[in-house]
Amino acid sequence: MASPDIRKIYIETYGCQMNLADTELLLGLLKPQGYEPTHDASQADVILLNTCAIREHAEERVLGRLGVLVRHKARNPRVLLGLAGCMAQHHREKLLEQAPFLDFVVGPDAYRTLPALLTQEENDAPFVSVRLDREETYADITPVRGEGVRAWVTAMRGCDRFCTFCIVPYVRGRERSVPLAALLAQVRELAAHGYKEIVYLGQTVNAYHDGTADFADLLRQTAAIEGIERIRFTSPHPADMSERIIEAMATFPKIAPYLHLPLQSASNRVLQRMERGYTIEHYAALVERLRAALPDLALSTDIIVGFPGEDEADFRATYDFMAQVRYDSAFMFKYSPRQGTKAYKWGETVSEEEKGRRLQEIIALQERISREINRRLIGQTVEVLVEGPAKRQPGWLAGKSRQFKTVVFPGGQVQPGDLIQVQVRDATAHTLIGEARSPMPV
Ligand code: SF4
């Protein structure tokens, strides 16, 4: 255990980048109270799981982990064990029935209550703090970020779209944006600390609007900040992808030519039942405009198979559309019903087995396309922002190309944060394998 004046907090983060950014925010909120992060749960005064509710499987994993981590509490009853994030907001007090040993449950808009909550350790009643707040953006909190070349910056929180399969608007509340001036100040600070790449985050990040400035303004003004070499954002919603944003992307080379543009389904019937807010014709025309404005654009997407009512013809439409658009990569999932959403009431119409078959089919298609696209880069030179050691090849380095492709190459005189040119020698569906070209760095 830590000395009485320094308290250690161990956080495990599940789910999306928003949650990773929220973990940094939680550390920022707790730092003034003397909390320091630890990677060793056995050394912690507070153990916190920052959770995801998007699929049932994610929640099962968290419950399993709680069963393991509670042992630290059994050894030392003064250790506080809590749950934060979307699952906390989704199940609230009910979590205490499944995990009665929890000391606190705190939702994404209630993190400011956490410091006070943690000082109430003498009070042995568990604390549930899950009020959603239409204003909260945590704009004044400085997140505690890990080392690296890329910083995730939350530009907006919540979502107003209420797609019928999605739990997010219920657990993260309504859409609200961090004021432009606060975001730019944060990015200037990050540049001063040596970060080279900024990724703006939001559930529908391109719906950003602080009352005066929209997302195109944010991109343009961020591009003017010296020291930041690359700007990315995730995830944009197709219906909020304005011409102004496309123009900003085409104008400023710092805005990386990579877009994660969730499709979900290519059947208008399914899109309508999902209440996605676009037709497949609208989406296809958007892809066309994007590719005309940004010829080197890499595209990725999200696909759900087995949504209630999806028949073979609907699925085929999705398969064919993916084959036609040729995404660089895709996140593909079986539909997972979430209690509280509109689609939950419709029940399931596609068997697990059939969902599995559809999923395997599009995974195989996408693997083939990703490999073909990447192999076409063999012989070409790509600009790489070096991040650090490669995971699988000892002595090699890894980084990302402007199109957000992982590039690995034998290490040399380069450092994380360097922008270098790498000649692609080989490629798989997921990785470019290359050689740094001299002179380097560029
Ligand atoms: S846009 Fe739809 S899928 Fe995305 S977070 Fe909002 S409700 Fe969920």
Report whether residue 158 contacts ligand 1, using a CB cutoff of 6 Å.
no
Band of pLDDT at residue 3, cut at 50, 70 and 90:
low
How many CA atoms, within 13 angstroms, populate the side-chain half-sphere of residue 424? 23
Residue that has been written with the tokens 């990040």 in this structure:
205
Q: What is the pLDDT of residues 136-157, one digit of tens each?
A: 999 999 999 988 999 999 999 9
CATH number of 7-129: 3.40.50.2300
Q: Which atom of ligand 1 is nearest to the CA of 160?
A: 6
pLDDT beyond 70 at 123: no
pTM recorded for the entire structure: 0.95
**Cβ burial 59-80 (10 Å sphere, 16+ → b, else e):** beebeebbeebbebbeeeeebb
Mean of pLDDT over the chain: 94
Contact of 433 with 426, CB cutoff 8 Å: yes
- 365 close to 323: Cβ distance less than 8 angstroms: yes
- pLDDT exceeds 70 at position 356: yes
Nearest of 163, 242, 253 to residue 203 by alpha carbon: 163
pLDDT at 412: 80
239 closest CA partner among 211, 264, 270, 212: 264
Ligand 1 neighbour 163 (Cβ under 6 A): yes
Q: What is the pLDDT of residues 388-417, one digit of tens each?
A: 999 988 999 999 999 999 999 998 889 999
Rounded-to-integer distance, Cα 124 and Cα 114, Å: 16
Q: What DSSP character marks residue 255?
A: B
Residue 17 has a CB neighbour count (10 Å cut-off) of 14
Any ligand 1 atom below 6 A from CB of 162: yes
168 Cβ below 6 A of ligand 1: yes
Q: What is the mean pLDDT of residues 363-376?
A: 98
CATH class of domain segment(s) 381-436: mainly beta
Ligand 1 centroid to 333 CA: how many Å?
15
Share of the chain above pLDDT 90, in %: 88
User: Which of the pair, 123 or 250, is modelled with greater confidence?
Assistant: 250
Tell me: the pLDDT tens digits for 292-340?
999 999 999 999 999 999 999 999 999 999 999 999 999 999 999 999 9
Please check the confidence at residue 44 and state whether its pLDDT lies above 50. yes
Q: Is residue 159 within 6 Å of ligand 1 at its C-beta? A: yes
For residue 434 and ligand 1, the question of a CB distance below 6 A is answered with no
The confidence score (pLDDT) of residue 438 equals 64
Q: How many Å lie between the centroid of ligand 1 and the Cα of residue 166?
A: 6
Mapping DSSP to helix (H, G, I), strand (E, B) and coil, where does residue 42 land?
helix
Domain ranges of the chain: 7-129, 150-375, 381-436
Exposure class string for 37-58: b at 16+ Cβ within 10 A, else e: bbeebeebbbbbbbbbbbbeeb
How far apart are the C-alpha atoms of 234 and 300, rounded to whole Å? 11
Confidence tier at 122 by pLDDT (50, 70, 90): low
Domain made up of 150-375: CATH architecture: Alpha-Beta Horseshoe (3.80)
How large is the average pLDDT for residues 58-71?
92
- Ligand 1, atom 8: nearest CA belongs to which residue? 166
- The DSSP result for 186-226, as a single string, is HHHHHHHTT--EEEEE-TTGGG-B-SS-BHHHHHHHHHTST
Nearest residue (by CA) to ligand 1, atom 4, is 203
Q: How far is the CA of 343 from the centre of ligand 1 (A)?
A: 13
Q: Is the pLDDT of residue 110 over 70?
A: yes
Which residue among 18, 204, 274 is best mutated to probe the pocket of ligand 1, counting the most ligand atoms within 8 A of its Cβ? 204
End-to-end CA distance of the chain: 47
Residue linked to tokens 């907006």: 156
Per-residue pLDDT at 5 exceeds 80: no
Cβ(338) – ligand 1 distance below 6 Å: no
pLDDT tens digits, 239-270:
999 999 999 999 999 999 999 999 999 999 99
CA of 306 to the centre of ligand 1 (A): 18
Protein residue closest via CA to atom 1 of ligand 1:
161
Average pLDDT in the 16-35 region?
Answer: 95
Q: Which pLDDT belongs to residue 442? A: 53
H helix or E strand, kind and range, residue 60: helix 56-75
pLDDT at residue 303, as a whole number: 98
How far is ligand 1, taken at its centre, from the CA of residue 407, in Å? 31
pLDDT band at 55 (very low <50, low <70, confident <90, very high): confident
Residue 289: what pLDDT? 98
Counting Cα atoms < 13 Å in the Cβ hemisphere of 335 gives 30
E strands, 289-395, in order: 298-305, 329-334, 381-389
pLDDT band with cut points at 50, 70 and 90 for residue 2:
very low
